[in-house]
Amino acid sequence: MAEVLPPDTVRCDACPVLCYIKKGHSGACDRYANVDNQLVRVDPHLLLDRAKSQGAPLVPFLEREQEWDGQLLKGRETFVTAIGAGTTYPDYKPAPFIVSSEVDGVDLVTVVTEGIFSYCGVKLKIDTDRHLGPERNLVRAQGEPVGHITTAEYGSQMLSIGGVHHLTGGTKSEGRVTCETLLDLCNGKEVALTIDDGASITVAANQQPVVNGQREERMRVGCGSAAIGMFAKQWFGKVDEVVVVDDHITGVLSEHQAGKMLGVRETGIAIQGRRSTPGRYFQVAQPGTGWGGTNISDPLAILRPFKAKLAWPNLRLLMVSTTGEHCAYYELDESLRPVEKDLPSALQESVARIRENCEPALTTVLFMAGAGGSLRAGVTENPVKLTNSVKQSLTRVTCGGAPAYIWPGGGITFMVDVARMPENAFGYVPTPALVAPIEFTLKQSDYAALGGHIDYIRPLAEVLREKDRQRQFTSLPANPWPLKSSPDRGEP
């Protein structure tokens, strides 16, 4: 007789405890979970499965049992990731998994380990023009310093979080909170951060950033001057003056080269701030979270009175931010003072165009770490040879199957986009330090040449037989296949 279950509940029959598991929760063992009302095994060791069709990343375990029926394995390629592989650190022992497989007639070896990284951190690129705080100021989580604001990039604010000095160089609490913050950011969780003399933000990998409670939808199309250049033609004839408000460079149509080219008449407009070149103004206001990354909420605050000699009554003025998120339309009255009016429909279109041209604002998280001595010793008895082999691109480095960029110069310092890695790929140790998966793939002959632990190589099929310890998931479409000799795409 079929049992009637409460809604959104599955009953697990993997062991005699027979847990009822609600949607979104796991059973008493924490190994089986209810994901969208399907019983799913959530074991630690992940195998990256290159399926032809891109399915759900978690495979329901009953179906998996069928898939694991040896024969089906031949038709598909599997890459053993380091997630959940464990580590032999700090012992100078061979890595937990050294797996051989044949790809296109070449014998490859993948050395699979979880690295414990004391030297590690994340770089956050936050697509916003809003002022998050002065460069070099501290970034805090739960009140503890965990990083700082670093050099801004085009349309984005950059934070550097973590690193050895916050992890182990400060107080115990600073180290703990830093590790927790890194772990959450790397595992795609939301993190609340505050910046000294700056904003409060909530960020998560590949999600829209929230700045002072406001969700950032778009990144700016360009600076104010660039926006004038891009849209001058579309404004010409529909409006007499356009000011694109931007904390970096505010653009003014009638003075800008693009406006001059079109023959836009001088308007007698006068802008606060420091003029750079004609039609381009720096520092029209203070940085902030208002219009175009300034601190203003009323755009007229950046205007001085119009010059009476040049301006005229009924002059039409559009003020807009670099994302099109803010806009206002004015006409001058008899005494040449701007009076706000409804935005004419012809201009609504151009504002919408600015918005359309803005890419979605995201926070992106790059994990950056250095693979140190003992980790390399798990790969070879002669660690520097591994470094050299990576430098010569004979050895490919991946993190949970995602491609890693190797920073030139000494050591193996790598960067990886955490969004390209499987969920919950990171762990920690109480040192505090982060645990991240790392895989080195190279030709078996090269592996032998660099003094690899040849005796510990196990064929892929043997590793796959330990299926009770493994979770299979589908490779992300954006990632090159880790075992392919020429990457499908370039490295990030």
Q: Which residues bind other proteins (CB under 8 A)?
A: 6, 9, 13-22, 25, 27-30, 43-45, 84-88, 90-91, 93, 96, 114, 116, 118, 168, 171-173, 175-176, 179-180, 183, 427-433, 468-469
H helix intervals, 325-430: 345-356, 373-377, 383-391
φ, ψ at 452 (rounded to 5°): -70, 165
Closest Cα partner for 109 from 375, 379, 372? Answer: 379
Nearer to other proteins, 146 or 327 (CB): 146
In the numeric block, the tokens 């969780």 are attached to 189
Helix axes of 224-235 and 345-356: crossing angle, nearest 10 degrees = 140
Nearer to other proteins, 291 or 428 (CB): 428
In the numeric block, the tokens 């002669």 are attached to 382
Min. distance of Cβ 214 from other proteins in angstroms? 24
If phi over 0 gives left and psi between -120 and 50 gives alpha, with beta otherwise, what is residue 263? left
Nearer to other proteins, 176 or 353 (CB): 176
Nearer to other proteins, 409 or 430 (CB): 430
Min. distance of Cβ 459 from other proteins in angstroms? 18
Min. distance of Cβ 143 from other proteins in angstroms? 9
Nearer to other proteins, 183 or 483 (CB): 183
Q: Strands 138-141 and 470-474, how do they pair? A: unpaired
Question: Is 75 exposed, middle or buried (CB count within 10 Å of its CB: 0-12, 13-18, 19+)?
Answer: exposed
Min. distance of Cβ 415 from other proteins in angstroms? 22
Nearer to other proteins, 20 or 481 (CB): 20
Nearer to other proteins, 42 or 51 (CB): 42
Nearer to other proteins, 32 or 330 (CB): 32
What are the structure tokens assigned to 92, written together?
Answer: 């100078």
Min. distance of Cβ 86 from other proteins in angstroms? 4
Min. distance of Cβ 451 from other proteins in angstroms? 21
User: Is residue 395 within 8 Å of residue 441, measured between CB atoms?
Assistant: yes
Min. distance of Cβ 305 from other proteins in angstroms? 51
- 28-40 as b/e, with b when 16 or more CB fall inside 10 Å? eeebbbbbeebbb
Min. distance of Cβ 63 from other proteins in angstroms? 13
Which residues fall within 8 angstroms of residue 243, CB to CB, at 6 or more apart?
224, 250, 251, 252, 253, 269, 271, 299, 302, 303, 317, 318, 319, 320
Return the amino acid letter for 370.
G
DSSP 450-484: TTB-GGG-EEHHHHHH-GGGEEEEEPPTTSPPTT-
